[in-house]
Amino acid sequence: MIERSKALAIIAGAGALPIEVAQSAQREGWDVFIVALRGSARLGDFPGFPSTELRIGQLGGMLDVLQRRGISNVAMVGSLTRPALSDLRPDAGMLRRLPRIVQAFRGGDDHLLRRVIGILEDCGLHIVDIRQIASGLLIPSGTITTRKPDRLQLSDGALGLTLLDTLGQYDVGQAAVVIGGRVVAIEGAEGTDGLLERVAGMRANGRIRDRKGTGILVKAAKPDQDMRIDLPTVGPVTIDGCVRAGLAGIVMREDEVIITERERVIASANANGLFLIGMDGNARR
Amino acid sequence: MIERSKALAIIAGAGALPIEVAQSAQREGWDVFIVALRGSARLGDFPGFPSTELRIGQLGGMLDVLQRRGISNVAMVGSLTRPALSDLRPDAGMLRRLPRIVQAFRGGDDHLLRRVIGILEDCGLHIVDIRQIASGLLIPSGTITTRKPDRLQLSDGALGLTLLDTLGQYDVGQAAVVIGGRVVAIEGAEGTDGLLERVAGMRANGRIRDRKGTGILVKAAKPDQDMRIDLPTVGPVTIDGCVRAGLAGIVMREDEVIITERERVIASANANGLFLIGMDGNARR
Give the Cα separation of B24 and B22 in Å (integer): 6
More confident residue, B254 or B13: B254
Any CB–CB contact under 8 A between B151 and chain A? no
Any CB–CB contact under 8 A between A17 and chain B? no
The set of residues, in sequence order, having a beta carbon less than 8 Å from that of A252 and lying 6+ positions away, is: A139, A218, A219, A220, A232, A234, A276, A277, A278, A279
Banded model confidence at residue B285, pLDDT cuts 50, 70, 90: very low
When pLDDT is averaged across residues B199-205 and rounded to a whole number, the result is 94
pLDDT for position A2: 46
pLDDT for position A112: 63
Banded model confidence at residue A91, pLDDT cuts 50, 70, 90: confident
The region of weakest confidence among A125-134, A190-199, B87-96 is B87-96
CB B272 within 8 A of CB B265: no
Q: How close, in Å, is residue B45 to chain A by CA atoms?
A: 25
> Mutate which of B112, B113, B209, B218 to test chain A, going by most A C-beta atoms within 10 A?
B209
Any CB–CB contact under 8 A between B223 and chain A? no
Any CB–CB contact under 8 A between B185 and chain A? yes
When pLDDT is averaged across residues B68-90 and rounded to a whole number, the result is 75
Q: How close, in Å, is residue A111 to chain B by CA atoms?
A: 10
pLDDT for position B92: 73
Question: CA nearest B256: which of B80, B157, B131, B111?
Answer: B131
More confident residue, A171 or B97: A171
Any CB–CB contact under 8 A between A177 and chain B? yes
When pLDDT is averaged across residues A269-282 and rounded to a whole number, the result is 91
More confident residue, A42 or A143: A143
CB B231 within 8 A of CB B134: no
pLDDT at A248 over 50: yes
- Cα three-residue angle A182-B18-B263, rounded to 5 degrees: 110
**AA identity, residue B151:** R
pLDDT for position B43: 84
Q: Do A209 and B107 touch (CB under 8 A)?
A: no
Look at strands A233-234 and B275-279 and give their pairing. Answer: unpaired
pLDDT for position B4: 64
Q: H or E element: which one contains B243?
A: helix B236-244
Give the Cα separation of B21 and B41 in Å (integer): 14
pLDDT for position A283: 40
Question: CA nearest B170: which of A225, A213, A164, A218?
Answer: A164
The set of residues, in sequence order, having a beta carbon less than 8 Å from that of B50 and lying 6+ positions away, is: B32, B33, B34
The set of residues, in sequence order, having a beta carbon less than 8 Å from that of A92 and lying 6+ positions away, is: A60
Question: CA nearest A80: which of A113, A104, A117, A50?
Answer: A113
Banded model confidence at residue B91, pLDDT cuts 50, 70, 90: confident
Any CB–CB contact under 8 A between A167 and chain B? yes
Q: Do B108 and A182 touch (CB under 8 A)?
A: yes
Any CB–CB contact under 8 A between B163 and chain A? yes
Q: Do A181 and B208 touch (CB under 8 A)?
A: no
pLDDT for position B265: 97
Question: CA nearest B149: which of B238, B272, B273?
Answer: B273
The region of weakest confidence among A187-191, A194-198, B39-43, B209-213 is B39-43
pLDDT for position B87: 56
pLDDT in tens, A198-244: 999 999 998 888 888 999 999 998 876 666 665 788 999 999 999 99
pLDDT for position B219: 96
Q: Do A186 and B206 touch (CB under 8 A)?
A: no
Any CB–CB contact under 8 A between B190 and chain A? yes
pLDDT for position B271: 98
pLDDT for position B183: 94
pLDDT in tens, B107-133: 555 566 667 778 788 888 998 888 888
Query: Does the model's pTM come out above 0.90?
Result: no
pLDDT in tens, A113-137: 666 778 788 888 998 888 888 888 9
Q: How close, in Å, is residue A233 to chain B by CA atoms?
A: 18
- Highest mean pLDDT (candidates A109-123, B221-235, B250-264): B250-264
pLDDT at A273 over 70: yes
Banded model confidence at residue A25, pLDDT cuts 50, 70, 90: very high
pLDDT at A251 over 90: yes
Q: Do A167 and B167 touch (CB under 8 A)?
A: yes
Banded model confidence at residue B2, pLDDT cuts 50, 70, 90: very low
B177 CB neighbours in chain A (<8 A) are 188
Question: CA nearest B167: which of A267, A110, A168?
Answer: A168
Banded model confidence at residue B88, pLDDT cuts 50, 70, 90: low
pLDDT at B103 over 90: no
pLDDT for position B209: 85
Considering all CA atoms of chain B, what is the largest pairwise distance in Å, rounded to the nearest integer? Answer: 61
> Which among A107, A166, A183 is the nearest to B166, CB-wise?
A166
CB B78 within 8 A of CB B10: no
Give the Cα separation of B79 and A144 in Å (integer): 42
CB atoms within 10 A of CB B244: 15
Banded model confidence at residue B61, pLDDT cuts 50, 70, 90: confident
What phi-psi label fits residue A152: left (phi over 0), alpha (psi between -120 and 50 degrees) or beta?
Answer: alpha
Q: Do B166 and A163 touch (CB under 8 A)?
A: no
A159 CB neighbours in chain B (<8 A) are 170
- Highest mean pLDDT (candidates A86-100, A218-232, B118-132, B138-152): B138-152
B159 CB neighbours in chain A (<8 A) are 170
Q: Do B182 and A81 touch (CB under 8 A)?
A: no
Interface list for B 67-96 with A (CB within 8 A): 81-84
Residue B18 phi/psi, 5-degree rounding, is: -55, -45
pLDDT at B1 over 50: no
pLDDT at A42 over 60: yes
The 8-class DSSP code of residue B43 comes to G
Residues in chain A: 285
C-alpha to C-alpha distances, B187 to A212, B17, B85, B139, B277, nearest whole angstrom: 22, 21, 24, 20, 20
When pLDDT is averaged across residues B261-280 and rounded to a whole number, the result is 96
pLDDT for position A176: 97
When pLDDT is averaged across residues A158-164 and rounded to a whole number, the result is 94
pLDDT at A285 over 50: no
Any CB–CB contact under 8 A between A151 and chain B? no
pLDDT at B82 over 80: no
pLDDT at A282 over 70: no
Q: How close, in Å, is residue A118 to chain B by CA atoms?
A: 20
> Which spans in A107-150 are helix H?
109-122, 130-133
CB atoms within 10 A of CB B260: 21
The 8-class DSSP code of residue B259 comes to E
Residue A11 phi/psi, 5-degree rounding, is: -85, 110
